[in-house]
Amino acid sequence: MKFRGLIFANLFRKKIRLLLTIGSFAVALFLFAFLGVVKSAFSRGTEVAGADRLVVVNRIGLIQTMPVSYADKITTIPGVKAITHNNWFGGVYQDEKNFFPQFAIDPDNHRKVMTEFIVPDDQWANFLKDRQGCIAGAKIAKRFGWKIGDRIPIKNSLYGNPKTWEFNLDGVYHNERPGGDETQFWLQYKYLDESMPANYKGQIGWYVLKLDTPDDAIRVAKAIDAKFANSSQETKTETESAFAAGFAKQLGNIQFLILSIGSVVFFTLLLVTGNTMAISVRERIAELAVLKAIGFGDRSVLFLVLGESLVIALVGGLLGLGLAMLAIPVLGAALTGLLPTLILSPQILTVGLVTAVLVGIISGILPGIGAMRMRVVNALRRV
Amino acid sequence: MVRVDEIGKSNSLIQVRDLDKTYRRGGEEIHVLQRLNLDVDKGDFVAFMGPSGSGKTTLLNLLGGLDVPSRGSITVAGDEITHMSRSKLTDWRARHVGFIFQMYNLIPVLTAFQNVELPLLLTKLSKSERRKHVETALSVVGLAERMNHYPRQLSGGQEQRVAIARAIVADPTFLLCDEPTGDLDRKSADEIMSLIKRLVKEYGKTVLMVTHDPVVARLADLTLHLEKGLLVESVEHPQAMAGCVA
């Protein structure tokens, strides 16, 4: 601590350079946090997927439908505890940019399978009674300022038939999993089905079923697919986590693009920062030589150099992460619908801070070792 | 009393025996110092003169433990420094040597007080003890009232006085001065030399100084002339010994 004054005096030697270095460090760490958040957002579906749930889709693809009557046949397979189904609704609220996922659900069984979504019983009871009822996620309700009882118009053009649907907001759901999705909008399947063209009636998008035990997953999946093999609408059954991973994989290129561009920028900034620190040490090599001449040992000189780079790294890192804490919720709100929910977790902050410290050490250690090894006599000749 | 070409043991503060320093440049060996012997007692003030490349600064660097000889030995206050490890030599320098450089070599971002305090940061002294020592050293050089000034706010002579305060603050065994007046005008040079003389006479400091200036050299008790790495002449200055500053 006796060297504190010396470290800070050296840091403030060139104030503009110090500010720019700390600034570039802060930007790098902000970027690091943002990339971490984006990465975790893309992979969160896989992480939170229920281990005891299977998803059944049409073998041809997710946009192909299946008969609602499959549910009764699937429930006969041993190991299936409950089954529900969903349809993609794909409407627009007021403006195209107000995107959020809307699903026509099976209200009778939805809560038995999707147990992480919490809706107060009285609200759910109202939804069951209300053909035009809907349930919105807490985030989406907050975003648009919806209150229970509000009338919500949603435009869509399913099968080339443009229409504005009116819904009554009967309830708001919360997700009991931290960071879990609260941006969905649910309507009654029956209400959707009534309006479907005759050849699309009684069709659903995909089934989600709950198992008695996750150990049955492979057996039940095989049994379901075998049951509908050689039918006009064959099925593909997989665990929910495999389904989520496959879904995320479709976004993989975007994720890869964001991560690779961000990583290049991040490491470039770190190289620039490290180089600035090295220059700062080289500029005062003669002063370090004087310190060594008057008795500062190799370790003291290394400590001084490392101390400076660590202070820059820590201040820059904390600034960048602080900025991320402020900006990511705002960015997340602005990007709702385009990206999954952005959550800056304590893990990302910790890894960011550790990275900052490591970069501080790495960028200080090379010039520090150089200062340690320098021959005082040679360095003094440069004065 | 300074003696040159002395052989064997003595009770001198600094004993230099058969000192050689050789550099290799390309395939050629350059003998910077050759078979140098020297005894310096406590309280002596010795000046080294000679043309550029005669080995003055190299000798000073060897005496200060900044460089190692190719052959021979240097013993200071009973410690032979020529075989010390790098870290031991660093500790030894902190305790025994005060350096005064031609270009002052103050840290520009530190105040006079902080510059003088630097050697004390390596000791176990408390903050208040360090402050007391620094104030005393700055008083000795007559700059107590400028302790909060930065080097850029001081004249060249004042900067050199701060450097002298830094050199004496830890009460080293001896002072090594490399052209201490080389960058100063005559008036400032005289003031610096008066100060160094006072350190010798009043505080009993041992001073070894390299200079090109014969006027400055005459203020030492003895001037040793080096040429091509050999001690070729020694000149005593009786009036300097009597304490007269020119």
Nearest chain A CA: its distance from B244 CA (Å): 31
Q: Which of B66, B91, B118 has its CB closest to that of A291?
A: B118
Per-residue model confidence (pLDDT) at position A130: 93
- B61 contacts chain A (CB < 8 A): yes
Nearest by Cα to A57 from A249, A206, A202, A204: A206
The alpha carbon of residue B164 is apart from the nearest alpha carbon of chain A, in Å, by 12
CB contact under 8 A, A295 and B95: yes
For residue B90, give the nearest of A6, A12, A295 by CB distance.
Answer: A295
CB A321 within 8 A of CB A351: no
Task: Name the residue facing B66 among A12, A293, A297 (closest C-beta).
Answer: A293
Of A13, A293, A297, the CB nearest to B99: A293
Cβ of A9 and B121 within 8 Å? no
Q: Hey, are the CB atoms on A297 and B93 less than 8 Å from each other?
A: no
Distance CA B156, CA B134 (A): 20
CA-nearest residue to A284 within chain B is B107
Residue B154, helix vs strand vs coil? coil
Size of interface A-B (CB pairs under 8 A): 64
Question: Which residue of chain B comes nearest to A373, CA vs CA?
Answer: B86
* % of chain B beyond a pLDDT of 90: 76
pLDDT at B244: 44
CB contact at 8 A, A290 and A380: yes
Q: According to the model, what pLDDT value does residue A159 have?
A: 67
Residue stretches of chain B with pLDDT short of 70: 1-10, 238-246
Q: Which residue of B has its CA nearest to A297?
A: B90
Distance CA A228, CA A207 (A): 14
Q: Which residues of B touch A380 (CB under 8 A)?
A: 66, 101, 105
CB of A298 within 8 Å of a chain B CB? The answer is yes
Please state the pTM of the whole predicted model.
Answer: 0.70
> Residue B93 is nearest to which of A295, A377, A380, comparing CB atoms?
A295
A98-124 CB burial, b ≥16 within 10 A, e <16: eebbbbbbbbebbbebbeebebeeebb
CB half-sphere exposure, B191, CA atoms < 13 A: 17
**Looking at CA atoms only, how far is residue B99 from chain A in angstroms?**
7
Instruction: Tell me whether strands B97-100 and A163-175 are parallel, antiparallel or unpaired.
Output: unpaired
Question: Which residue bears the tokens 């090109």?
Answer: B212
Cβ atoms of B232 and B226 closer than 8 Å: yes
What is the C-alpha separation between A267 and A289, in angstroms, rounded? 32
- Shortest distance between the Cα of B118 and any Cα of chain A, in A, equals 8
Nearest C-alpha of chain B: how many angstroms from A296?
Answer: 7
Tell me which residue of A239, A383, A305, A332 sits closest to A40, measured CA to CA.
A332
Rounded to a whole number of angstroms, the distance from the CA of B53 to the nearest CA of chain A is: 13
Are A291 and A331 within 8 A, CB to CB? no
Q: What is the pLDDT along chain A (383 residues), one digit of tens a residue?
A: 678 888 999 889 889 989 998 998 898 889 888 888 877 777 665 555 566 899 999 999 888 899 999 999 999 999 999 999 999 998 889 887 788 889 999 999 999 999 889 999 999 999 999 999 999 999 899 989 999 999 999 988 776 778 889 999 999 999 987 767 888 999 999 999 988 888 888 999 999 999 998 888 889 999 999 999 999 899 999 988 788 777 666 666 666 777 787 788 777 877 887 788 788 888 888 899 999 999 999 999 999 989 998 999 999 999 999 999 999 888 877 766 556 667 788 888 998 899 888 888 888 888 888 888 888 888 887 65
Yes or no: say if B69 and A251 are a contact pair by the CB < 8 Å rule: no
| Residue A12 to chain B, least CA–CA distance (Å) | 8
Which of B90, B109, B118 is closest, CB to CB, to A10? Answer: B109
Per-residue b or e along B191-223, where b marks 16 or more CB atoms closer than 10 Å to that residue's CB: bbbebbbebbeeeebbbbbbbebeebbbbbbbb
> Is B149 exposed, middle or buried (CB count within 10 Å of its CB: 0-12, 13-18, 19+)?
middle
Q: Is A383 on the interface with B (CB under 8 A)?
A: yes
Q: Does the beta-carbon distance from B101 to A287 stay under 8 Å?
A: no
Looking at the DSSP bridge assignments, the partners of residue A54 are A209, A239
Is B85 an interface residue toward A (CB < 8 Å)? no
Instruction: Name chain B contacts of A13, Cβ cutoff 8 Å.
Output: 108-109
- Does B148 lie at the interface with A, CB-CB under 8 angstroms? no
Q: Where are the beta strands (DSSP E) in A127-271?
A: 133-137, 151-156, 163-175, 185-188, 203-204, 206-211, 235-239
pLDDT of residue A290: 92
DSSP-assigned beta bridge partners for residue A156: A163
Helices (H), A239-345: 240-250, 252-283, 285-293, 298-334
A380 reaches B (C-beta below 8 A): yes
B 163-202 residues inside an 8 A Cβ radius of A:
166
